[in-house]
Amino acid sequence: MGLLHNLGTVCILLGIPFFISGTIGLLRFPDIYTRLHALTKADNVGLGFVVLGLSLQADGWHTVARLLLIWLLVLIASSASCHLVARAALRKKIEPWSRP
């Protein structure tokens, strides 16, 4: 129990840098496409680590199943919304950023 709990904590801590880098990317990247890239890529891995850590700390397979379902749903939703936002941006004829 103690070992699993600590392992879970380590996993959650491992997830945090991904969220931070994703947020920095969102704030610092030049245009909408690169920002989407930063958000979805980094956050999905970060969320994966957090879900993994929480599953290790969970007290039953019910909770683990629900956590995994949440992770899966977030993956689907974020990739789909990323696609939709990028598509809408393309339709509005927003040029992808290129190094000046």
Partner 1 sequence: MNTLLFYDFSGLALLAIGLHGLIRSSHPLRKILAANLMTSGVFLIMISGARGTGQTMIDPVPHAMVLTGIVVSVSTTAVALVLVCLVQETTNRALLWQKRKREKWGRTDG
Partner 2 sequence: MMDAMGIFDMVLALALPWLGWRLLASPDLFRAMVLFISLGLLMALTWVRLQAPDVALAEAAIGAGLTGALFLSALRRLERLSEAERRLAFAGKREEEDEIPPERHRRAKPVAYGLALLLLAVFVLLLAWSLAQTPAGGGLGPAVGEQLGQSGVRSEVTAVLLNFRGYDTLLEVMVLFLAALGVWSLTRVRLPLQDEEPGPVLATLVRLLAPLMIMVAGYLVWIGGSRAGGAFQGGAVLAAAGVLLLLANVTVVRQIPAALLRWGLALGPLLFLLTAVVCVAAGGNLLEYPPQRAGAWILLIESASAVSIGVTLAALYAGGRPPEPPAQDRGGEQGPGRDADADAGGRQ
**What does R_g of the chain's alpha carbons equal in angstroms?**
17
Question: What binding mask, one character per residue, do residues 19-48 give for partner 1 by CB under 8 A, x or -?
Answer: ------------xx----------------
C-beta of residue 67 within 8 angstroms of C-beta of residue 54? yes
Residue 16, contacted partner among partner 1, partner 2, none, CB below 5-8 A by kind: none
Using CA of residue 7, residue 12, residue 15, residue 17, what is the dihedral sign? negative
Q: Residue 89, interface with partner 1 (CB under 8 A)?
A: yes
Which residues lie near partner 1 (CB under 8 A)?
Answer: 31-32, 85, 88-89, 92-94
